[in-house]
Chains A and B, each alone.
Chain A
Amino acid sequence: EVQLVESGGGLVQPGGSLRLSCAASGFTFSGYDMNWVRQAPGKGLEWVSFISSTGRTTYYTESVKGRFIISRDNAKNSLFLQMNSLRVEDTAVYYCARAYTSNWQPDAFDFWGQGTVVTVSS
């Protein structure tokens, strides 16, 4: 059974840092691209960041470029999101999500974790 379990969320002051983790199990983690997606309270889904299966390729949404860093440890089946210079508007539930890919093209995000809550407030 595919499982994704996020951790590391919490309350942090503006300008602070947090490191989110996502522990993967039930599939060959090193074979899949991964993503972080967030959802602010009462709002829709916002894709945050992507990392390829090898970790060589990363993408970010414009609002987090230069502040967030996505990484992975395939030996430990883990995905990370280092969040620096946090802003009030980064407050959200953060989900890790596996990319289902065919023909070298992502088709969808087929499995999601339960999410971890990040609150940025003074």
Chain B
Amino acid sequence: DIQLTQSPSFLSASVGESVTITCRASQGINNYLAWYQQKPGKAPKLLVYGASTLQSGVPSRFSGTGSGTEFTLTITSLQPEDFATYFCQQVNSYPPFTFGPGTTVDIK
């Protein structure tokens, strides 16, 4: 099975800052990587698929890059509504459809 790691696990940032979250796969997954945002008590929301394609309706301050084993999600100019937990997911080799452990973005 493919394993995903995320770094950092937790980050503290201020409104207006830019942040980058990294997701690494234990083996190459081409660009079959998705990113989700989850707020407490809510279902996950798809942000990015295909490593870099923004889901319809997602603000352009979110962007994804990467291929192979290393991927990043960048949020430029953090907004108050962006404070949440972010998960990556690989859909290249399944089953299983593996999720990363998550990165919590908190308000500094």
Main secondary structure of the interface of A (DSSP, over half): strand
Distance of B56 from chain A, by nearest CB (Å)? 9
Chain B interface size, under 10 / 10 to 19 / 20 to 34 / 35 or more = 20 to 34
A-B contact count (CB 8 A): 69
| B99, A107: Cβ atoms closer than 8 Å | no
Residues of B near A45 (CB, < 8 A) are 36, 38, 44, 87, 89, 99, 102
| A47, B97: Cβ atoms closer than 8 Å | yes
Does A46 make an interface contact (CB < 8 A)?
A: yes
Enumerate chain A interface residues (CB-CB to B < 8 A).
35, 37, 44-47, 50, 59-62, 95, 97, 100, 105-115
Enumerate chain B interface residues (CB-CB to A < 8 A).
32, 34, 36, 38, 42-46, 49-50, 55, 87, 89, 91, 94-102
